[in-house]
Structure 1
């Protein structure tokens, strides 16, 4: 008679493999989503007659540490034109604020959620 410990160890091993693979898949989906958001931000600012010069300052950084996947997207103040980001998106008492910082996120959300749903289905079938 088995006490189930062998099956439990096998399940634990399988879940560990799934977690590692799923992490890499989620990282790739988020990287693609961040690139799409960045590209839309660049397109939006490039269409502005006053702020098009900051298009080259829009970047995205990525961080993968201790199970955390993080992307930071937007104007980099250290790059030429990047300091204009605050004025473009938020404005000052003298004007500005014509950029919609959330528009690219709203555009990307359905694609991102669809891709994450597909990954959930893929990995759920392997448990």
Structure 2
């Protein structure tokens, strides 16, 4: 009985099946890079404060992935100096709120969206 070598077809099928996973990994990497850039910008902003407590506000991000959705949650760390975040970013009736928070995300949005779009091409 003749045998047919299908190893190349099998290899091609495996590469095609893995392509969406590779693309998803690239999308996640683009989201993570955007989150890191936003975190770095927020940290630089608060570190420039004249208030020593506000300079110590820790900022972190948490990545979440569910199916093809990749997202990052960027926020001040709760507790300690992180408790001053509301005053730093939003202020009180007596003042404050001179530091940018959401604006750093807006600044990074177009760049991150472009990288995500490039990474997702072909999904």
The TM-score bracket by the shorter chain reads 0.7 to 0.9
Structure 1 position 44, deviation (Å): 0.4
Structure 1 position 107, deviation (Å): 2.0
More RCO (CA 8 Å, sep 6+): 2
State the structure with more CA Rg: 2
The runs of at least 4 consecutive aligned structure 1 residues that moved more than 4 Å come to none
Mapped to 2, the partners of 1:116 and 1:68 lie a distance apart of 11
Q: Which runs of 5+ in 1 are unaligned?
A: 1-9
- State the Cα deviation string for residues 77-117 of structure 1 (Å, max 9, x = none): 13x31011111111112211111212211221222122123
Q: Which runs of 5+ in 2 are unaligned?
A: 1-11
Shift in alpha-carbon separation, 1:36–1:98, aligned structure 2, 3 A: same
Report the TM-score when normalising by structure 2: 0.75
